[in-house]
């Protein structure tokens, strides 16, 4: 690749936000409403956060073959995530270098080149300009690299999850993940071949700031109240067998589950300690789904002793893993938060399937994936709607300018409630807002920084 094109922002580029006192806006135990409502702060986030740190883009299984592509965004930047003709994964700006139009208007596909719909400039899937119609009309050498499509200079995968940053000074991706990489490993390793494949998604859009979703991602305090109808429905016929969210009834902090902050804005909520460690323990947590009893009887008939271990592969993993700013693993889903505007966000829930690696009977793979669709449609349809209603109502509440603060002080100032480990990670009870206080320290660090951003083009 050619030399990096530095786009380090001069102070004026940040406009009014240079005047903000970040330490005032985000304090130890509270945050100012402006960080959720101010368009200038949102604009700065689109550079300092989405661009300034590692951000999730896509999963490798969405572009399994050479020349496959999918369109996504990095903050507000439209991108084409492509596996080029040599198998290299790139994040191209979905923007023609001629007059700036959206180069690729498809959501996904397979192509060796992209032809701009406006005047027909044609680009290889490496981003290099291949030709323009009637080149004799240009005095200039059109092989100048400045005409090659811009791309994100740092794109890395961790076990299939593709992240990217424009920040040349960001830590190597694996260091950025730190201790949460092990939890991602555990999430993957229970599946055959240690893999999942992304299938389709439940797509939501809400009228609220993107941070409201991340602030909720590890929140164990709201469940008993916000999701009460789902919790009661799930447990209505459960008898002794409490279903997943029953752990939040009464006093959730007396349960063995906990939250842990692992650094760089990343955290997870671990409900696995609540689980009975036996084949079928995970399956037993699933609430009623159409067809469940039939599949269970069928699996017992077909696979005997192995039936419940196989059914566990359809169960939702009881851990929420969150990588700041836009990525969560939740049950068997990959959840992605996409900012649209200061008061508008996409929350997308990608379903995942298991693969046939020979370790599971082939007909069971198909049936487990059919069941996974059912177990996965539960929370997005009946739980996420509760969360989204909260996000929209918070945004509405924050329109009151005089009442300035939101509090994130649950657990704050109580000695010995949270525990700091040797690796710097912090464990706290499931209902504590320690995760939020910690990810806001990372948010503030990034907002104060002058990130060393760059784009790249093919030579
Ligand atoms: S804008 Fe793409 S060819 Fe003109
Ligand atoms: Fe929730």
pLDDT in tens, 158-213: 999 999 999 999 999 999 999 999 999 999 999 999 999 999 899 999 999 999 99
pLDDT: which is higher, 262 or 8: 262
Cα of 122 from ligand 1 centre, angstroms: 9
Instruction: Tell me which residues have their CB closer than 6 angstroms to ligand 1.
Output: 96, 98-99, 101, 116, 118-121
Share of the chain above pLDDT 70, in %: 96
pLDDT confidence band for 11 (50 / 70 / 90)? very low
Record the pTM.
Answer: 0.95
pLDDT tens for 424-451 read 999 999 999 999 999 999 999 999 998 9
pLDDT: which is higher, 181 or 274: 181
Cα of 442 from ligand 2 centre, angstroms: 23
pLDDT confidence band for 287 (50 / 70 / 90)? confident
pLDDT for 313 beyond 90: yes
Give me the residues near ligand 2 (ion), CB cutoff below 5 Å: 387
- Protein residue with least CA distance to atom 4, ligand 1: 119
pLDDT at 249: 79
pLDDT for 14 beyond 60: no
What are the start-end ranges of the E strands in 75-151? 77-83, 89-93, 108-110, 113-115, 122-124, 129-131
Q: Which residues contact 136 (CB under 8 A, 6 or more apart)?
A: none
pLDDT tens for 83-139 read 999 999 999 999 999 999 999 999 999 999 999 999 999 999 999 999 999 999 999
Q: Which residues contact 183 (CB under 8 A, 6 or more apart)?
A: 262, 268, 270, 319, 321
Q: Report the residue among 96, 133, 142 best suited for mutation to probe ligand 1: largest number of ligand atoms under 8 A from its CB.
A: 96
8 Å CB contact between 101 and 121? no
Q: Report the residue among 102, 116, 150 best suited for mutation to probe ligand 1: largest number of ligand atoms under 8 A from its CB.
A: 116
pLDDT at 239: 72
Lowest average pLDDT, out of 289-298, 346-355, 440-449, goes to: 289-298
Lowest average pLDDT, out of 85-89, 290-294, 317-321, 361-365, goes to: 290-294
pLDDT at 9: 53
pLDDT at 17: 60
8 Å CB contact between 322 and 328? yes
What average pLDDT does the chain have?
Answer: 94
pLDDT confidence band for 242 (50 / 70 / 90)? confident
8 Å CB contact between 184 and 81? no
8 Å CB contact between 268 and 218? yes
Q: Report the residue among 80, 95, 97, 98 best suited for mutation to probe ligand 1: largest number of ligand atoms under 8 A from its CB.
A: 98
Tokens 């009661």 identify what position?
232
| Shortest-distance ligand to the CA of residue 96 | 1
């Amino acid at each position: 690749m050619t030399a990096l094109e530095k786009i380090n922002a001069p102070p004026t580029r940040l406009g009014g936000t240079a005047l903000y006192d970040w330490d005032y806006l985000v304090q130890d135990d509270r945050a100012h409403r402006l960080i959720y409502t101010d368009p200038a702060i949102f604009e700065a986030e689109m550079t300092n956060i989405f661009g300034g740190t590692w951000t999730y883009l896509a999963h490798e299984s969405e572009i399994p073959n050479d020349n496959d592509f999918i369109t996504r965004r990095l903050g507000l930047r439209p991108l084409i995530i492509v596996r080029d003709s040599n198998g290299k994964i790139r994040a191209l700006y979905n923007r023609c270098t001629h007059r700036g139009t959206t180069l690729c208007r498809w959501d996904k596909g397979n192509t060796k080149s992209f032809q701009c719909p406006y005047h027909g400039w044609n680009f290889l899937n490496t981003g290099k300009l291949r030709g323009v119609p009637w080149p004799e009309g240009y005095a200039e050498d059109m092989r100048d690299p400045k005409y090659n499509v811009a791309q994100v200079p740092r794109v890395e995968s961790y076990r299939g999850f593709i992240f990217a940053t424009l920040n040349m000074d960001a830590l190597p991706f694996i260091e950025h993940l730190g201790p949460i990489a092990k939890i991602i490993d555990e999430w993957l390793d229970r599946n055959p071949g240690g893999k999942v494949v992304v299938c389709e998604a439940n797509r939501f859009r809400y009228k609220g700031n993107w941070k409201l979703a991340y602030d909720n991602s590890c929140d164990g305090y709201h469940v008993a109240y916000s999701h009460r109808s789902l919790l009661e429905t799930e447990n209505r016929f459960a008898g002794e067998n409490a279903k997943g969210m029953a752990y939040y009834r009464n006093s959730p902090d007396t349960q063995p589950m906990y939250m842990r902050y692992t650094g760089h804005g990343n955290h997870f909520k671990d409900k696995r300690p609540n689980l009975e460690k036996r084949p079928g323990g995970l399956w037993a947590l699933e609430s009623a789904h159409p067809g469940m009893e039939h599949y269970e009887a069928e699996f017992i008939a077909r696979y005997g002793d192995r039936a419940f271990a196989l059914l566990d592969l359809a169960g939702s993993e009881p851990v929420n893993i969150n990588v700041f700013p836009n990525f969560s693993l939740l049950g068997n889903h990959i959840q992605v938060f996409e900012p649209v505007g200061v008061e508008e966000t996409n929350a997308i829930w990608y379903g995942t399937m298991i693969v046939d690696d020979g370790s599971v009977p082939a007909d069971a793979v198909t049936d487990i994936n059919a069941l996974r669709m059912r177990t996965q449609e539960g929370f997005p349809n009946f739980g996420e709607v509760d969360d989204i209603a909260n996000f929209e109502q918070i945004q509405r509440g924050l329109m009151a300018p005089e009442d300035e603060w939101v509090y994130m002080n649950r657990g704050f100032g109580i000695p010995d409630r949270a525990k700091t480990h040797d690796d710097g990670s912090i464990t706290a009870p499931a209902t504590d807002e320690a995760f939020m206080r910690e990810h806001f320290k990372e948010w503030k660090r990034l907002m104060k920084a002058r990130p060393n951003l760059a784009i790249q083009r093919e030579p």
